A and B are shown apart, each in its own frame.
Chain A
Amino acid sequence: MRKRWLKIPAAWITPLGVIGAVIAITWVGIAFTARLWVPFDPLSQDLPRLQAPGIDTLMGTDALGRDIFSRLMTGASVTIPLALMLVLMSLVVGTLIGAIAGYFGKWVDELLMRLTDLVMAFPTVILAMVVAAALGPSLFNAVIAAFVVSWPQYARMTRSIVLGLRTQNYVMAGRLMGFSPFKTLRVDIAPNVVGPILVLASLDVGTAILLLSGLSFLGLGAQPPTAEWGSMISAAIQNFDSWWIGLFPGLAILTVVMAFNFVGDSLRDIFDPTSQVSRAGARS
């Protein structure tokens, strides 16, 4: 029979999803290769200062005479991999905790969920400030601060799905056949959690990028002279007349965030049960 998960039916390919995927993949590609092909060293200050965009400096130069195009491209390799890592870490930790809480229930659930409530109550930026104050401001510490507050949403979501699945008859049928708890989680539960979690994760990449750039903008993340989008925008504030300094990093953030959101939205359509055979149609 046909391989359901390898083939993408035509109806799933929405214009926005495709555009999003192309842009997202392009940015990720740039992030991992930029250092090999950018025209100038992003840190060297050899160019004329505050030069408007032109032939040799595509996006102009900043107040210290650094090429903005080169900084922008290498900036991608700072923010994007860290954002992906952040999402991956939150996903793994959050899903695991949520699955355990949902599946084992009782006091395990109570304990883990109170913990997530506690963590979720922290405002991210303030927590990042606390971490920065304690460990010193650096991009890595910003990631740690963001991680602390972002895994609980995965835990919440996984837990609610698992709670719903736990009483499904097929889970019961497996247990009657003597499945171990681990096998139940792996065979009967995990495959049904993957879809919604992937959606959440792809939407979350955008959020993570915004958050990391935001923290750098505030001076809590990347430190000078590192080329990072948020701190580039923050530098633009001091040179308000030179529009190119802030515009291009701003556009970069905008496109990446939107691209990952488009991908997430179309993944949501794919995994949403109502977009398939959906008896749920009765409800609409």
Chain B
Amino acid sequence: MSELLEVSDLVIEYHGATVVRAVDEVSLTIAPGEVLALVGESGCGKSSLARAVVGMEKPRAGAVTYRGSEVPLLGVRRRRAQFTSIQMVFQDPNSSLNPRIRVGQQISEGIRAAVERGDEGSQPEEWLERVGLPIEMVSRYAHELSGGQRQRVAIARALAARPDLLVADEPISALDASSQASVADMMRKLALDAGAGLLFISHDLAIVRLIADRTVVMYRGKIVESGVSDLIWNDPVHPYTRALISAIPEPDGKGNLPAAPAADAPEEWRMTLPEALDRA
């Protein structure tokens, strides 16, 4: 099989007082060297899907296969080296860094994972430079960093493990516009050079358009539109995708508030349009 990652008919549910179906029969694939973006409403199941891909969430139905073998659940046992090439950048940069360990050492753990798998070693400083941080930051603790700096350290740590599949959940949301572009670009280049796959989750269509080959738009747990990024950006078909693009505030300095959709989302956002899927 040529695909690096294959997600087929994945269903994820949370059973509490009520049953929440966070991901509802989603299928997607990522090829080596490909960047796939996942965008969608807040709470539509993007992070749930991401966690299932790395094995942190148990699928209710469906399967996640990585290089032909099913991704095992991340239990208390040590993860097999075969799967340490799947790495994740978590949505919440604050809790993704250990508060009591210096930044440099945390990146070293990533490097060690790469070395144990037989990849070449590297220095933490290199990775800090790549994500645009001064190398003195190796000796800082997470709480001594700004929000955007933390997020970049988390990216550096994941990249240091030289992943073949990187799942990045809103990795650059806390960065300013110019760092966003450069960090996103760097992630894309690294993925392409190493032949790795990148699942890039974001709610920001403008950034997604710059770095993703293909884009998947999710709404309430289902894929509503997917295909080549430029097509989706320039000519959205599904009503939800259209709403998503039109609600981006225009930085024109005129003080125009984008119209807020009504609290009860329009029914048409939920519909399935076959022509909106797999657009090429």
List residues of A whose CB falls within 8 A of some B CB.
1, 4, 103-105, 168-170, 172-181, 187-188, 191-192, 276-277
Report yes or no: A170 in contact with B109, Cβ–Cβ below 8 A. Answer: no
- Bound-state CA distance A73–B157 (Å) is 56
Q: Is the CB of A170 within 8 A of B110?
A: no
**How far apart are the CA atoms of A172 and B96 in the complex, in Å?**
8
Cβ A187 vs Cβ B74 within 8 A: no
Chain A residues lying within 8 Å of B74, measured Cβ to Cβ, are 172, 175-176
Q: Which residues of B sit under 8 angstroms from A192, Cβ to Cβ?
A: 99-100
Task: Choose among A1, A105, A176, A179 the residue with the greatest number of B CB atoms under 10 Å from its CB.
Answer: A176
A187–B79 CA distance with the chains assembled, in angstroms:
16
Q: Residues of B contacting A103 with CB < 8 Å?
A: 76
Render B233-274 as a binary contact track against A, CB cut-off 8 A, 1 for contact.
000000000000000000000000000000000000000000
Interface of B is mostly: loop
Q: Are B143 and A178 interface neighbours, CB within 8 A?
A: no
Can you pick out 25 interface pairs between chain A and chain B where the beta carbons lie within 8 Å of each other? A1-B139, A1-B140, A168-B95, A169-B90, A169-B92, A169-B96, A170-B96, A170-B97, A172-B56, A173-B154, A173-B158, A176-B79, A176-B84, A176-B87, A177-B109, A177-B113, A178-B78, A178-B79, A178-B80, A178-B84, A178-B113, A179-B109, A181-B78, A187-B98, A187-B109
Give chain B nearest CB distance to A22 CB in angstroms.
29
Q: With a CB–CB cut-off of 8 A, which chain B residues contact A173?
A: 88, 90, 96, 154, 157-158
CB pair B76–A181 under 8 Å, yes or no, is yes
Chain B residues at the A interface, C-beta cutoff of 8 Å: 54, 56, 74, 76-81, 84, 86-88, 90, 92, 95-101, 106, 109-110, 112-113, 116, 139-141, 143, 154, 157-158, 161
Q: B88–A175 contact, CB under 8 A?
A: no
Q: Determine if B78 and A180 form an interchain contact, defined as CB atoms under 8 angstroms apart.
A: yes
Name the residue of chain B whose CB is nearest to the CB of A171: B98
* Across-interface contacts of A104 in B (CB, < 8 A): 76
CA distance A178 to B76 in the complex (A): 10
B140 partner residues in chain A, CB cutoff 8 A: 1
Question: Contacts A181-B76, A191-B101 hold; do A176 and B109 have CB atoms under 8 A apart?
Answer: no
Main SS at interface, chain A: helix
Would B98 and A170 count as touching, CB distance under 8 A? Answer: yes
User: Within 8 Å CB of A177, what residues of B?
Assistant: 79, 84, 87, 109-110, 112-113, 161
> Is there contact, CB below 8 Å, between A277 and B143?
yes
How close is B94's CB to chain A, nearest CB, in angstroms? 9
Q: With both chains docked as a complex, state the minimum distance between the C-beta of B200 and any C-beta of chain A, in angstroms.
A: 17
User: B113 to chain A: closest CB distance in Å?
Assistant: 4
Contacts A177-B109, A177-B110, A187-B109 supplied; 7 other A-B pairs, CB < 8 Å: A169-B90, A169-B95, A173-B88, A176-B86, A177-B79, A177-B87, A191-B100
Shortest C-beta distance, A267 to chain B (Å), equals 16
Q: Residue of B at shortest CB range from A170? A: B98
**Closest A residue by C-beta to B90:** A169
**How distant is the Cα of A269 from the Cα of B76 in the complex, in angstroms?**
33
Q: Which partner residue on chain B sits nearest A166 by CB separation?
A: B76
Q: Chain A contacts of B97 at CB under 8 A? A: 170
A169 to B170, CA, bound (A): 14
Find the B residue at minimum CB distance from A188.
B98
Expressed in whole angstroms, the Cα–Cα distance for A174 and B116 within the complex equals 14
Sorted from nearest, which 10 A-B pairs have the closest CB atoms? A177-B113, A169-B96, A191-B100, A169-B90, A1-B139, A178-B84, A180-B78, A170-B98, A169-B95, A178-B79
* A278 and chain B: residue at smallest CB distance: B143
Please, which residues of chain B bring their CB within 8 A of the CB of A191?
98, 100-101
